[in-house]
Amino acid sequence: METLDRVVEPTEIVAGRHQLRPPSLRDVPDMMEISRDPDVGLWNPMASGADEETAHAWAVRYADWDGGQSPTFGVYEAVEGRLLGLVSLHKIDLDLSAGELGYRVAPWARGRGIATMALGTVSEWAFGALGLTRLQLIHAVENAASCRVAEKCGFLHEGTTRSSYRYGDGELHDEHIHGRLVGDPVPGR
């Protein structure tokens, strides 16, 4: 794997009425609230139940994109400015021209297409700005909402891994692997 000091510098993306940018310290209260949501705790166990100190540390790390190795975009309405969710690109491998995406949406922003908009926007950015060829997204089979978001963003279901990840309920779950290649068609476009 090719390693660089920094894969990428923090940047901002305007997507219609939304803005995607690195989170900041002003997002700490919203990060704490998101982390206490039962759905986030179930499907993102590493992000559940944050206290102020933990959320502060996340905001600092996310603002720097984890040293330029793992871009994390906060998703905001351009007018309101409140944190609606987070999308991160991690496991970037420039030699293999690939990366993995993950996301979470605030409970107050669900049902509004935020996940689909943000995942699609960050995917296009990763293909363009980083020149990646393949992106993948992995979620628990029971997380039907993530499956719908992946498919709406052009990620094809490539397979199922059995008992492959321990989620917030303490149980091992089967997972779907979705993949998208640069140039793959996206439904509705």
The neighbouring-strand residues paired with 101 are 89, 137
The predicted pLDDT at position 47 comes to: 63
Residue 43 lies inside a defined structural domain of this protein:
yes
Pairwise CA distance, residues 189 & 70, whole Å:
28
Instruction: Give, in degrees to the nearest 5, the angle at Cα 152 between 146 and 156.
Output: 80
Pairwise CA distance, residues 136 & 101, whole Å:
6
For 67, the enclosing helix (H) or strand (E) is: helix 65-68
Residue 46 lies inside a defined structural domain of this protein:
yes
| pTM of the entire predicted model | 0.91
pLDDT tens readout for residues 7-66:
788 899 999 999 999 999 999 999 999 988 888 878 876 666 678 888 888 889 888 888
Identify each DSSP E strand in 141-184 by its residue range: 156-166, 172-181
Q: Give me 61's structure tokens.
A: 């790390």
Range of the structural domain that residue 111 is part of: 13-181
Residue 167 lies inside a defined structural domain of this protein:
yes
Pairwise CA distance, residues 105 & 65, whole Å:
19
Residue 114 lies inside a defined structural domain of this protein:
yes
Closest-CA residue to 155 (of 186, 131, 127) = 186
Residue 2 lies inside a defined structural domain of this protein:
no
Pairwise CA distance, residues 53 & 31, whole Å:
11
The predicted pLDDT at position 1 comes to: 46
Residue 56 lies inside a defined structural domain of this protein:
yes
Domain containing 117 — which CATH number? 3.40.630.30
Residue 1 lies inside a defined structural domain of this protein:
no
pLDDT tens readout for residues 116-135:
999 999 999 999 999 999 99
**pLDDT, averaged across the chain:** 91
Pairing of strands 134-140, 98-105: parallel
Alpha helices by DSSP H, listed for 104-143, are 114-129
More confident residue, 51 or 180: 180
The predicted pLDDT at position 112 comes to: 94
The DSSP result for 38-63, as a single string, is: HHHHHH-GGGSS--HHHHHHHHHHHH
Total domain count for the chain? 1
